[in-house]
Amino acid sequence: DGGITQSPKYLFRKEGQNVTLSCEQNLNHDAMYWYRQDPGQGLRLIYYSQIVNDFQKGDIAEGYSVSREKKESFPLTVTSAQKNPTAFYLCASSGPITISTNEKLFFGSGTQLSVL
């Protein structure tokens, strides 16, 4: 079945450490996104990518980095510069570029990141 796979489900980070969250999709979607979910704040956009080798900052990109070397993959690195990384991270993708490219997002099951 087609879908989005995020791994790991739970991740722990030590102070000063960079960690990478994986997101893979087999839906042949052009666009991929990373959102951060904090209690009472809804989802906030970190980065998004419309095509391979291109990505844009979202609303809270500081302390994060991404790459889009393959259409299927959009890994997110939480760097040591992110001072409050504890959150639930959701990856999403959406279909081929059309007039209504925001028609429907497909979400992964998420990664819970905690700081030790």
Partner 1 sequence: AQSVTQLDSHVSVSEGTPVLLRCNYSSSYSPSLFWYVQHPNKGLQLLLKYTSAATLVKGINGFEAEFKKSETSFHLTKPSAHMSDAAEYFCVVSQVNDYKLSFGAGTTVTVRA
**Site membership for partner 1, residue 55 (CB under 8 A):** no
Please tell me the count of residues contacting partner 1 according to CB under 8 A: 28
Q: Is 31 in the site for partner 1 (CB under 8 A)?
A: yes
Instruction: Give least dist CB 12 to partner 1, A.
Output: 18
Asked whether position 25 contacts partner 1 by CB under 8 A, the answer is no
90 binds partner 1 (CB under 8 A): yes
Asked if 103 touches partner 1 (CB under 8 A), the answer is yes
Q: Residue 100, interface with partner 1 (CB under 8 A)?
A: yes
Parallel, antiparallel or unpaired: strands 111-115 and 10-13: parallel
Backbone angles phi, psi at 109, to 5 degrees: -90, -5
Under rule CB under 8 A, residue 22 binds partner 1: no
Long-range contacts of 97-105, Cβ-Cβ distance < 8 Å, separation of 24 or more: 97/30, 97/31, 97/50, 101/31, 105/33
Q: Which residue ranges make up the site for partner 1 (CB under 8 A)?
A: 4, 31, 33, 35, 40-45, 48, 50, 58-59, 90, 92, 94, 99-105, 107-110
